[in-house]
């Protein structure tokens, strides 16, 4: 089974909304990628962007959740204000690096459903997604 990749976001304030173009670019690129031989129909990422109202206490990938009905697994990607304030290129590199790093977080969850996953194939797919997203962000075609 191939898993679709999806993205959602939670912005911790109006100032964090400046990352909306990153979210849109990543959402657009997710349409072009999937995960081979994955036991869930969907792998979802949730960008948790620190802002002036809320801070999520996470930098990079963490907090794996599994749907009880087996339809999805999600991984949060925390983007602290310190990263967000360094500009678009730094944020894009941060997110692109966090995507394949999420493999380590999922592996650490040690769920039976993930026991036979080819993690290197998942990592490669997420690296390719990260590269495509970065290319989209650097060409400005969001």
Q: pLDDT at position 140, please?
A: 60
* The three-state (H, E, C) secondary structure of 49-111, written as one string: ECCCCCCCCCCEEEEEEECCCCCEEEEEEEECHHHHCCCHHHHHHHHHHHHHHHHHHHHHCCC
Where does the chain show beta strands of DSSP type E? 3-11, 34-35, 42-49, 60-66, 72-79
Higher pLDDT, 20 or 1: 20
Q: pLDDT at position 17, please?
A: 82
Q: 70, exposed or middle or buried, with CB in 10 Å at 0-12, 13-18, 19+? A: exposed
Overall average pLDDT of the 61-68 stretch: 93
The domain limits of the chain are 3-139
Give residue 131's pLDDT band: very low, low, confident or very high (50, 70, 90).
very high
Where does 12-80 show beta strands of DSSP type E? 34-35, 42-49, 60-66, 72-79
Mean pLDDT of the chain: 92
CA 4 to chain CA mean position, Å: 13
**Residues linked to residue 9 through DSSP beta bridges, in sequence order:** 47
Sequence length of the chain is: 142
Give residue 1's pLDDT band: very low, low, confident or very high (50, 70, 90).
confident
pLDDT digits (tens, 9 = 90+) for 67-120: 989 899 999 999 999 998 898 999 999 999 999 999 999 999 878 888 889 999
Query: Which residue shows structure tokens 């939670």?
Result: 10
pLDDT digits (tens, 9 = 90+) for 33-51: 999 889 999 999 999 999 9
């Amino acid at each position: 089974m191939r898993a679709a990749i999806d993205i959602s976001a939670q912005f911790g304030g109006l100032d964090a909304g400046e990352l909306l173009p990153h979210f849109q670019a990543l959402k657009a690129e997710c349409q072009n990628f999937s995960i081979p031989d994955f036991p869930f129909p969907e792998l979802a990422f949730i960008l948790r962007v620190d802002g002036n109202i809320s801070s999520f206490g996470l930098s990079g990938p963490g907090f794996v959740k599994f749907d009880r009905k087996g339809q999805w697994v999600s991984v949060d990607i925390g983007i602290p204000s310190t990263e967000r304030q360094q500009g678009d290129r730094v944020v894009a590199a941060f997110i692109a690096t966090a995507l394949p790093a999420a493999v380590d977080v999922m592996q650490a969850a040690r769920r039976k459903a993930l026991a036979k996953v080819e993690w290197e194939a998942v990592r490669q797919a997420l690296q390719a997604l990260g590269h495509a997203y970065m290319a989209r962000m650097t060409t400005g075609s969001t």
